[in-house]
A and B are shown apart, each in its own frame.
Chain A
Amino acid sequence: MTQSARIHVRVAEIEPLNATLRRITLQHAEGALLPASAPGAHIQIELRGDTRSWRNAYSLVSPPGTRTAYSIIVRKVPQGRGGSLYLHERLAVGQTLTILPPVNLFPIAGLARKHLMLAAGIGVTPFLSTRAALAETPFELHLRCHAADQPAFQTLLAPWPHAHIHAGPDFNPTDLLRHQPLGTHLYLCGPTGFMQAAEAAARTLGWPAARIHQEHFGAPTGGRAFDAVLARTGRTIHVAQDQTLLEALEAADIDAPSLCRGGACGECRLPLLAGTPDHRDHFLSESEHATSIMPCVSRSHAETITIDI
Chain B
Amino acid sequence: MDQGIKSRPRYQPFRIDPAGTQHLIVTDQPSPPPGISGAAELWTIAPHPGGQSFPTPAALLASLPGHLARQGPGFRLYAIGTEPFIWDVAYIATHAGLTEGELFLHHAGSLARRVHCIHCKTNTDRVTTNIVTCAGCGANLLVRDHFSRRLRAFMGVQVDAETPGILPPIETLYP
Taking Cβ atoms with an 8 Å cutoff, the residues of A that contact B are: 111-113, 177-184, 202-203, 205-211
Contact = CB atoms under 8 A, between A and B. Distances in A.
Interface residues of B, number: 19
B19 A206 contact: yes
B20 to A, nearest CB: 5
B19 A208 contact: yes
19 contacts: A112-B97, A178-B72, A179-B72, A180-B73, A181-B72, A181-B97, A182-B68, A182-B72, A182-B75, A183-B96, A183-B98, A184-B97, A203-B19, A205-B21, A206-B19, A208-B19, A208-B102, A211-B99, A211-B101
Nearest to B98: A182
B73 A183 contact: no
A183 B74 contact: no
Contacts of A184: 73, 97
Interface string B81-121: 00000000000000011111110000000000000000000
B130 interface: no
A207 B75 CA distance: 8
Given A111-B99, A206-B74, A208-B99, 20 more contacts: A112-B97, A177-B73, A178-B73, A182-B73, A182-B75, A183-B96, A184-B73, A184-B97, A205-B21, A205-B73, A206-B19, A206-B20, A206-B21, A206-B75, A206-B76, A207-B74, A208-B100, A208-B101, A209-B101, A210-B100
Nearest to A116: B73
Identify whether the interface residues of A are mostly helix, strand, loop, or mixed: loop
B148 interface: no
A202 B101 contact: no
Nearest to B99: A210
Contact of B72 (A112, A180, A203): A180
Contact of A205 (B74, B76, B97): B74
Nearest to B100: A210
